[in-house]
Structure 1
């Protein structure tokens, strides 16, 4: 199984591609110095396989490496994922 995280900036979303098919997405909007994650969605047939967490990790890693933006986890899934991964708390607090 090959996976890839794709940032589709024109569509304000991150997409997780598995074997050349979109399996999950995370929508966001930018507000000043913040990226606000508003919604995540995983293909129903692929839930319970950890793809949502892989997507969030990949999106947050991209934010960490390529931007100076603060993360605002408006989406409950993103918020919960960050809560249980303290190594990403600094993204919420920076800026």
Structure 2
């Protein structure tokens, strides 16, 4: 299933709406070169369908494209990056 993700920079979040249900990955930018993924919410009706993973991948792709260092205050994002070593190079040192 392809999950359409929208980036809402004015709200500092990535969102997905599937079957009328919403999911979001919220972030802040504590400095011009750092993005902090602070919170992930996936509506219960969408859980287990890869929506959280799609949000994570989109957010991390954005960070890489923009040359941002990544901070993972969100437990879901921290665990996602831990499980996917290809994103470890983006982590803030």
Deviations 1:36-70 (A, max 9, x none): 011000011111112101110111112212x1110
- Structure 2 regions of 5+ residues with no counterpart? none
- Cα drift, residue 93 of structure 1: 4.3
- Cα drift, residue 2 of structure 1: 4.7
* Structure 2 equivalent of residue 24 of structure 1: 23
* Structure 2 equivalent of residue 92 of structure 1: 91
Structure 1: 4+ residue segments shifted above 4 A: none
Q: Is the 8 A contact 1:37 1:72 kept in 2?
A: yes
* Structure 2 equivalent of residue 63 of structure 1: 63
Deviations 1:50-94 (A, max 9, x none): 2101110111112212x1110000000000000000000011047
* Structure 2 equivalent of residue 39 of structure 1: 39
- Structure 1 regions of 5+ residues with no counterpart? none
Within 5 Å, give how 1:66-77 maps onto structure 2: 67-77=66-76
TM-score normalised by the chain length of structure 2: 0.88
From the superposition, tell whether residues 22 and 69 of structure 1 become closer, same or farther in structure 2 (CA, over 3 Å): farther
